[in-house]
Structure 1
Amino acid sequence: MKRIPLGISDFKTVIEEDYLFVDKSELIKEFWDIDGQTILVPRPRRFGKTLNLSMIKYFFENSSNDNGYLFKGLNIENHKEIMELQGKYPVIYLTFKDEKHSSFEYLKAGLRNILSKLYQDHKYCLNTDKIDNIDKEYYNSIINKKADIIDLSNALKKLSQYVHSYFDKKVMILVDEYDVPIQAAYVSNYYNEAIEFMRNFLSGAFKDNSSLQKGMITGILRVARESIFSGLNNLKVEGILSHKFNDKFGFTESEIEKLALQYDIKENLINIKEWYNGYFFGDTTIYNPWSILNYISNPKEGLKPYWVNSSSNDLVKVVLSKSTADVKSDLEELISGNSITKIIDENIVMGDIEKSSNNLWSFLLFTGYLKAKEAYRKDEDIFYNLSIPNREVRSLYKNIIENWFLDTITRNNYDIMINSLINGDIKIFGKLLKQFVIKSISYFDVGGYEGEKVYHAFVLGMLISLNDTHEVLSNRESGYGRYDVMIIPRDISKLGIVIEFKKLDADDDETLEETAEEALKQIKDKKYSITLENRGIKNIKEIGIVFKGKDIYIKENDNEK
């Protein structure tokens, strides 16, 4: 069996050292044949973007060493007209995958380093009379890391012109992970500076560049045309909702089945699917390649979250923690295993992710934290059914939600609070809930207190904490109305709970106790407990919880049948 290329994304190394290579070489033909001079291919992280771009580089590159041997026996050899292009073009290849910086000053230093290395790789350009002395001075300023930010922003376009002039042949430009510095800038609050640089840098190289033969840009997000690719009318975007390249990033069902046979893990195939598949690129089912390769490399370690643990997931945590009560309510549906229906917009402006829930769901979809299926059109909008792809990604949401609570209440107290609730000790539960609410108000509130945010955060906490022993339902129909929360024990001899939440404003005349009585009366009058009774649960507790600012009041009814 071939070795697993974990962390190896250089195509030449994978082939020469005989690592496992799942053949995606027909991507080369698709790239060459597709309309559009420049192709943007957004895919989630660690789905093979760098390896594929490296493969394209080695195929077209007219280096002094013939790279044709790297493609022996691969599927691309079946396309003779494409094989005639092998080794025929100069190639400029640049990756931003490591450019994650905490300030714009650090980003500029990082840019000087990678562009200096890029110019050194093409230093042959200086050995010609086709480049005048002024351009040679510019060239050396990039190599020596002396260029200012304006000169840096022109560096890719100028290099393509120098290479074009040297070879007298137009250039392939390949840019990998273009949005890594943008995401880092968003988290570290220098987003506008990073956007301005990347707009000038990429537009210069790919817009109206007479030295460009064809280009490919990879990243995670599409990002709105107006924010980066302004006026770039030769750009064609092929994202995860597209049917182009749909089987070229990540592993398909048939590829997984072959790997299962090859590495003798077929008996675990059902569990592998549950943990690592669930993505749909176009209409193709795709498995997470990073997690699959990690599992195959050491199956004795078992199935666990490899992909979600391969990054800090900072951006996901930031946008979710700042989300609205409606978003947290939708998260309850997702954590419960259900789907939500949302408009998806591929033209994301990262700076507006927090301003629109549709932007948030689009962001989570394109970054691999949701999957989309069953699209339908209503007027000019396209709606998708969104859900959590698999157990691995669900574990990330669970971790994020748990950390919300650990930031507001200790693990020990949180466990005691939840256990007190399901065991019917409402006095202890109420005491700890008050602590949680007081501390949560500042944590979950962005721009003013909203009791709904605390409420939904609390429900999310119950959903993940009680999943093994209870079914937690929120805002569902029962009897003659919709209850707020129902906790249904999987063991029907245990306590079932119905909770109705009420919120009082500061100028309301009702008292906390009166409102709690109203909550209990509502549970009784609307027969919310009938769902529990129909499940055979006899021990039922009905609870009214009232919020008023930082004050909280809890009242209960025992309703044993």
Structure 2
Amino acid sequence: MKKSIQIGTSDFKKLIEENNYFVDKSMLIKEFMENGADIILTPRPRRFGKTLNLSMLGYFFDIRTKSDTKELFKSLKIENEKEIMKLQGEYPVIFVTFKNQKHLSYEDFKDGIQMLLSNLYKEHDYLLYSDKLSEFDKADFKEIISRKAQLGVFSEGISNLMIYMNKHYGRKVMLFIDEYDVPIQEAYMRGYYDEMISLIRNILTCALKDNIYLEKAMITGILKVAKESIFSGLNNLQVNTILGLKFKDKFGFTEQELKELLTYYDLQDKSDDIKKWYNGYVFGGKTIYNPWSVLNYIDNNEMGFMPYWINSSSNDLIKKLLLKGDTNMKLELEELIAGNSISKAIDDSIVMSEVEDSNENIWSFLLMCGYLKAIKTENIEGILQCELKIPNKEVLIFYNNLIEKWFKESTTNQKYELMLKTLITGDIEIFSGLFKEFVINNISYFDVSGKEPERVYHAFVLGMLISLSKGYEVKSNKESGYGRYDVMIIPKDVSKIGIIIEFKKIDDFLSYTIEEGTSKALKQIEDKKYETELLEKGIKDIVKLAIVFKGKEIKVTQGNIV
């Protein structure tokens, strides 16, 4: 009988004991122990096995269950590492996760932290019966459990628990902290960021900084959060982002691991499709597959390929950042959706409070969260320069859905479809009216400043790129400064109309009129012979349009019909 696929189980012991398939990541234990840093931060995208890996580390080292858990590691790769196996069950262990600390307000967050620490102390309530702890220790212990302690005492909750465990066992403590940045992102979205940062900083600094009771610690999250000084002054903190070389094959599935999985479940013939849908990640130069989507597909392969990973979260923050992006971001997003790459300077230390300040910050955020991949990385005078692409078909679906959602929220679906239909059928008079209405009504939606209508037409081009993709190829030929932005809509059926659109923006300080701008745009189409590509493809009916902006004035004009 084949082992079953257990989706979403992050408890290592449960996974092994219930005879579920386990992609053997046990060599993480060896790499963790042989790493010279006392505190290791390994940010990875969500659903890439972080919690399961920490759970495995916890079960391996936990002194409380030494005899019970040794069997869990039988037949795993780590069993062959004799020196490492001597450490099995030799340390007190604290495992704490912040993954559920998603709250609407700071008050709710404080309550959540108090409950989290109360439950953590209950897990170790055997210490209340230890003759190594003083009555004062036990009194403080009970205050945490009952959630009656002052906030300052809760801030030192993890640190104090390490002291109690060290007194009881006479050994230093292994500390594993999971999803440390969940409350950071949530507080950023909900508006209590500064207060939350202060509390989470106190908790983590007390636990990690100059703590003589700490043996080693591993911390996971999605991001390396910088400048908030959460890890301020930690002299022995090592950070290993997806761009680093350490732990590069310990989160997500390698190509060899995927091959073994598919062979076990007799799905070898699906490897090419799985690569298109769920591959594309590069961690430290290593090709990595999305484990969440791969396992979901194997478990439900009769249903075909689906976007499992992107549907496993609300993606609210990602959507917010992309929607607020400026015109350059819309242009670059268009490049990515067309299957091209963009080159960006990447800062792998995310500053949540500054992530919206520039496009560069947003691209870094998208890369670290798994919505982009770095196909090439160069260190140029201390700055990481990355060539970025959309990693796979699943994530491309996310961007496509996001753009469609923009339009459904910013205009009626019926009007948007009618606008595109009148364009591709050549009914330019009706298209003109609908397009002007679309721009005027949606400047406030697509453009936060309300001053740049070109953001709307770049969003419009993105919309065409997605909405017309089944029957048309949408190509754009951009020029910096928005002096020219021509679009070609090429029908796959040569009997249909081909369309050339020249967008032109006239700055208010220029003396020429919108009519003169229109003439220039149409003349440019003729002089540059843009219709040549369409004619060579056998397309005989060609519509030439000039769409010109001056302030909030918009003019749509049809040129000579070929």
TM-score normalised by the shorter chain: which range applies? Answer: over 0.9
Kindly indicate whether the alpha-carbon contact (under 8 Å) linking 2:179 and 2:222 is maintained by their aligned counterparts in 1.
yes
Quick one: distance in 2 between partners of 1:266 and 1:385?
31
Q: Which amino acid aligns with 1:531?
A: E
The structural deviation recorded for 1:482 is 5.9
- What secondary structure sits across from 2:410 in the alignment? coil
1:411 — aligned with what?
413
1:23 — aligned with what?
24
Further displaced range: 117-126 or 79-88: 117-126
Deviations 1:98-126 (A, max 9, x none): 11111111111111111100011111222
Corresponding pairs, count: 557
Deviations 1:356-390 (A, max 9, x none): 21111111011010000122243432211100000
Quick one: distance in 2 between partners of 1:239 and 1:228?
17
Deviations 1:307-346 (A, max 9, x none): 0000000110111111111111100000000000001111
2:431 — aligned with what?
429
The structural deviation recorded for 1:507 is 5.7
- What secondary structure sits across from 2:474 in the alignment? strand
1:11 — aligned with what?
12
2:515 — aligned with what?
513
Q: Which amino acid aligns with 1:341?
A: S
Q: Which amino acid aligns with 2:365?
A: F
- What secondary structure sits across from 1:100 in the alignment? coil
2:42 — aligned with what?
41
The structural deviation recorded for 1:528 is 2.7
- What secondary structure sits across from 2:187 in the alignment? helix
1:351 — aligned with what?
353
The structural deviation recorded for 1:20 is 0.8
Further displaced range: 372-381 or 32-41: 372-381
Query: Structure 1 pair 434/482, CA: closer, same or farther in 2 (3 Å)?
Result: closer
Further displaced range: 149-158 or 42-51: 149-158
2:301 — aligned with what?
299
Further displaced range: 125-134 or 17-26: 125-134
Aligned partner (choices 337, 340, 349) of residue 339 of structure 2: 337
Quick one: distance in 2 between partners of 1:424 and 1:465?
17
1:222 — aligned with what?
224
Q: Which amino acid aligns with 1:76?
A: I
Further displaced range: 133-142 or 195-204: 133-142
1:470 — aligned with what?
472
The structural deviation recorded for 1:225 is 5.3
Structure 2 residue 151 is the aligned partner of structure 1 residue 152: no
Query: Structure 1 pair 77/8, CA: closer, same or farther in 2 (3 Å)?
Result: same
Q: Which amino acid aligns with 1:201?
A: I
Further displaced range: 532-541 or 1-10: 532-541
Query: Structure 1 pair 420/343, CA: closer, same or farther in 2 (3 Å)?
Result: same
Quick one: distance in 1 between partners of 2:271 and 2:118?
47
Kindly indicate whether the alpha-carbon contact (under 8 Å) linking 1:294 and 1:306 is maintained by their aligned counterparts in 2.
yes
Kindly indicate whether the alpha-carbon contact (under 8 Å) linking 2:453 and 2:552 is maintained by their aligned counterparts in 1.
no
The structural deviation recorded for 1:559 is 3.5
Query: Structure 1 pair 50/307, CA: closer, same or farther in 2 (3 Å)?
Result: same
The structural deviation recorded for 1:532 is 2.5
The structural deviation recorded for 1:514 is 3.0
Structure 2 residue 284 is the aligned partner of structure 1 residue 282: yes
Q: Which amino acid aligns with 2:204?
A: L
Further displaced range: 234-243 or 530-539: 530-539
- What secondary structure sits across from 1:407 in the alignment? helix
Gaps of 5+ in 2: none
Quick one: distance in 2 between partners of 1:533 and 1:379?
48
The structural deviation recorded for 1:223 is 1.3
- Aligned pairs for 1:51-90 (under 5 A) are 51-64=52-65, 66=67, 67-90=69-92
Kindly indicate whether the alpha-carbon contact (under 8 Å) linking 2:10 and 2:52 is maintained by their aligned counterparts in 1.
yes
- What secondary structure sits across from 1:63 in the alignment? helix
Kindly indicate whether the alpha-carbon contact (under 8 Å) linking 1:497 and 1:543 is maintained by their aligned counterparts in 2.
yes
- Aligned pairs for 1:79-478 (under 5 A) are 79-224=81-226, 226-476=228-478
Kindly indicate whether the alpha-carbon contact (under 8 Å) linking 1:483 and 1:523 is maintained by their aligned counterparts in 2.
no
- What secondary structure sits across from 1:18 in the alignment? coil
TM-score when scaled to structure 1? 0.96
Kindly indicate whether the alpha-carbon contact (under 8 Å) linking 2:66 and 2:88 is maintained by their aligned counterparts in 1.
no
TM-score when scaled to structure 2? 0.96
Quick one: distance in 1 between partners of 2:516 and 2:135?
86
The structural deviation recorded for 1:476 is 4.6
Quick one: distance in 1 between partners of 2:110 and 2:454?
42
Deviations 1:442-461 (A, max 9, x none): 11222332122112111111
The CA RMSD over aligned residues, in Å, is 1.7
Quick one: distance in 2 between partners of 1:148 and 1:399?
47
Aligned partner (choices 481, 497, 500) of residue 495 of structure 1: 497
Deviations 1:66-108 (A, max 9, x none): 2101000100011000000000000000011111111111111
Q: Which amino acid aligns with 2:46?
A: R
The structural deviation recorded for 1:145 is 1.4
Q: Which amino acid aligns with 2:198?
A: E
The structural deviation recorded for 1:64 is 4.3
Quick one: distance in 1 between partners of 2:266 and 2:65?
41
Deviations 1:22-52 (A, max 9, x none): 1000000000101210100100000000000
Quick one: distance in 2 between partners of 1:113 and 1:179?
18
Query: Structure 1 pair 120/526, CA: closer, same or farther in 2 (3 Å)?
Result: same
- Give the 4+ runs in structure 1 shifted more than 6 A: none
- What secondary structure sits across from 2:63 in the alignment? coil
Kindly indicate whether the alpha-carbon contact (under 8 Å) linking 2:485 and 2:504 is maintained by their aligned counterparts in 1.
no
Query: Structure 1 pair 457/487, CA: closer, same or farther in 2 (3 Å)?
Result: same
Kindly indicate whether the alpha-carbon contact (under 8 Å) linking 1:483 and 1:498 is maintained by their aligned counterparts in 2.
no
Further displaced range: 372-381 or 250-259: 372-381
Further displaced range: 68-77 or 241-250: 241-250
Gaps of 5+ in 1: none
Kindly indicate whether the alpha-carbon contact (under 8 Å) linking 1:227 and 1:349 is maintained by their aligned counterparts in 2.
no
Query: Structure 1 pair 99/14, CA: closer, same or farther in 2 (3 Å)?
Result: same
Query: Structure 1 pair 123/273, CA: closer, same or farther in 2 (3 Å)?
Result: same
Kindly indicate whether the alpha-carbon contact (under 8 Å) linking 1:483 and 1:528 is maintained by their aligned counterparts in 2.
no
The structural deviation recorded for 1:270 is 1.0
The structural deviation recorded for 1:131 is 3.3
Quick one: distance in 1 between partners of 2:416 and 2:152?
53
Further displaced range: 226-235 or 50-59: 226-235
Quick one: distance in 2 between partners of 1:483 and 1:345?
30
% identity of equivalent residues: 55
The structural deviation recorded for 1:506 is 4.9
Further displaced range: 48-57 or 124-133: 124-133
